[in-house]
Amino acid sequence: MSRSIEKAREYLRPTKKFPTVWCPGCGLGIVQSALVRAISRVGVEKNAVTVVSGIGCTGRMPAYVDFNTLHTTHGRALAFSTGVKLASPSMTVIAVMGDGDALAIGGNHFVHACRRNIDMTAIVVNNSIYGMTGGQYSPTTPHGKRGTTAPYGNVEHAFDTAALAVGAGATFVARTSVYHAQEADRLIEKAILHRGFSVVEIISNCYTSYGRMNKYTSAVDMLRWMKENSVPVSAWDKLPPEKREGKFTRGVISEKELPEFIEAYDEQGRRLTRTPAAVERVRDILTAYDENADRLRVADERSGEAESGRGENKT
Amino acid sequence: MADTTARVLQGNEASAIGALAAGVDFFAGYPITPSSEIAELLSQCMPLINGRFIQMEDEIASIAAIIGASLAGATSMTATSGPGFSLMQENIGLACLAEVPCVIVNVMRAGPSTGLPTQAAQGDVQQTRWGTHGDHAIVALAPSTVRECFELTVECVNLAERLRTPTVLLMDEVIGHMRESVVLPSGDEYRLVRRIEPPTGLRDYCPFGECVPEVAALAAFGGEYRFHVTGLTHDAHGYPTMVPEEVDWKIRHIVGKIESRADQLASNEEFMTEDADVLLFAYGSTARVAKASVRALREAGVKAGLLRVRTIWPFSQKRLRELAPGLRLVVVPEMNLGQLVVEVERAVCGEARVVPLGKVDGHLFEPGDITEFVLEEVGA
């Protein structure tokens, strides 16, 4: 067994759930490998990682990876992730979603997660179609392309996922494709290490549903399209406008510093514990039931809590 | 030392204070009248008690967040009203199937749709039972007093933790917004129940396996055990399964762990039922009115009594079955067109005449409404 396969087995659940439900040629296996390689490079303990998903082909990924894993309802992965992270701030929380899951039914959660800047990572696996339900058009199906519910070509226009994330306030936004698997490792690693909400869009291929209906001859043909139509962010500006048509950028698209939600919330709490009026107001509410059960914390007791993690401390 | 000072509190405030007393340390919610006071009060307290509050983008996200937080070890709660409760239903189903403790406070207002914000109603009784799709069971408690808003919030937390299931505090708008003088229970007057956690050092932890004794032990994410949680029907380890025996066991388990305890979880108040041949069956604010009606009916020579239920779901037939042989009439006043009366009919099983008394005009019953209705029904 090669070293890399051995390494992969350490992060997967090989004895439990394989083979995957994914079709031959699907890009999701590449994304899953990139995810575990990235986590391995960051070096975080498996028990300190939670991978959350919604519904769809991408939604099945958590069953195969050996972390705390949570497979939720359609579109809601980021909302569940928010709860996990707020209850356990030391946890590395990663949500994996497909394009329909993240941007159609989950679009509202997506933009608000971008706005809040909680330290989590969202991976959007964008294959431009609803794969699991058989190939209906999605919010990222390009105009004119076909799906089983766009049999004459898509009348609508696609989201630019990365631009949407930047516009909604995400503090780290990157994009690559399943053809660029090693770049995916590095971008996911950067996203995890970024202190704030990170989005990594990974352009993927669904040959079974999308490729078949849109005149790709094979899964490899679709990967070739990614290779030929992606441009590194650094090269994009030098490209004349006529050569940008139909192409997408890859690399780190946007990165900025903004106070992280939990840090800001806890800092506000620490300030309040030093504010007699606030303490008195809450003490008055709490003593309504039992002065012995006073849960008020003295100033500074809260500091350092985010590092130690509440999940582990709970008895 | 218990604080025996009487204070004037609103039902919503008492529920929020009850949540704090019960150890709730995570709240996620979305603004909606008539429940918003709960979120407001908890947003004020959480930062000072090492808890966290977040206002989510909608009610779907709110219930999702409290489920996620619970899995990471928090004691979590949300609060809403009819329209928001409708939005939560899919994820309530996930919490039922994945057996995640969490509490939903639903302060009922008049519906359907936006309805009559924010007048009184009890229109969500059957939505609470059957709102999410598929076979499942639910726990729902209905307070009639401000003190009970505190007590039953604590009980909702306890039952959620004990039975690993979502529980619902089913208030009506009258109770949520009513202010009355109240002495809240002190620490030695209520107990707190917490989920059973697995012992350390297990070679093979099964979060959905053997019950010890009522449900399987639940570890928190971030602790010793890594496991999978899914809304797909799953096996003892939490992995999706389509094996008929495993699927069958799972569904019967999530229903049975609650329904089989209906009599044990039942909590009633009885008023003048000893010799009654006419029974008023009521809950929530309606029960307060019905009590006044019982007194008026007694004065009018009708042997009336009141059975008030605090536990709406699971519905216990026991006390009704015991009383039924001595009854000629059961009247069920509800601020809806007959929701819990269906369960009363099933329990009484033809031994007495069961008559619904519905009200859906947004106003609460007045004692005269019930008294006159009963007098007409008994032909007095």
CB atoms A79 and B73 under 8 Å: no
Residue A141 has a pLDDT of 98
Domain boundary assignment for chain A? 3-258, 262-313
The predicted-structure confidence for A141-161, as pLDDT tens digits, reads as follows 999 999 999 999 999 999 999
CB atoms B94 and A84 under 8 Å: no
Mean pLDDT over B264-269 rounds to: 98
- Alpha carbon distance A266, A280 (integer Å): 19
Smallest CA–CA distance from A286 into chain B, residue? B17
CB atoms A88 and B60 under 8 Å: no
Residue in the block written with tokens 């908890």: B42
Helix (H) or strand (E) holding B220: none
Residue A1 has a pLDDT of 55
Tell me which long-range contacts B245-254 makes (C-beta under 8 A, separation of at least 24): B250/B97, B250/B208, B251/B134, B251/B135, B253/B211, B254/B96, B254/B97, B254/B99, B254/B136, B254/B137, B254/B165
* Residue of A67, A73, A279 with shortest CB distance to B48: A279
The predicted-structure confidence for B186-205, as pLDDT tens digits, reads as follows 888 889 999 999 999 999 99
The predicted-structure confidence for A189-239, as pLDDT tens digits, reads as follows 999 999 999 999 999 999 999 999 999 999 999 999 999 999 999 999 999
Smallest CA–CA distance from A269 into chain B, residue? B47
Q: What are B168's strand-pairing partners?
A: B104, B140
Residue A299 has a pLDDT of 35
For A271, residues 6+ apart whose C-beta sits below 8 A from its C-beta are none
Residue A308 has a pLDDT of 41
Q: What are B279's strand-pairing partners?
A: B305, B330
Its ipTM equals 0.97
- Domains in chain B, CATH or no CATH each: 7-189 (3.40.50.970), 267-377 (3.40.50.920)
Residue B3 has a pLDDT of 59
Interface mutation target, options B104, B206, B221, chain A, most CBs of A under 10 Å: B221
Q: What is the architecture, at CATH level 2, of domain A3-258?
A: 3-Layer(aba) Sandwich (3.40)
Confidence of residue A304 (pLDDT cuts 50, 70, 90): very low
The Cβ of residue A147 has, within 10 Å, a number of other Cβ atoms equal to: 21
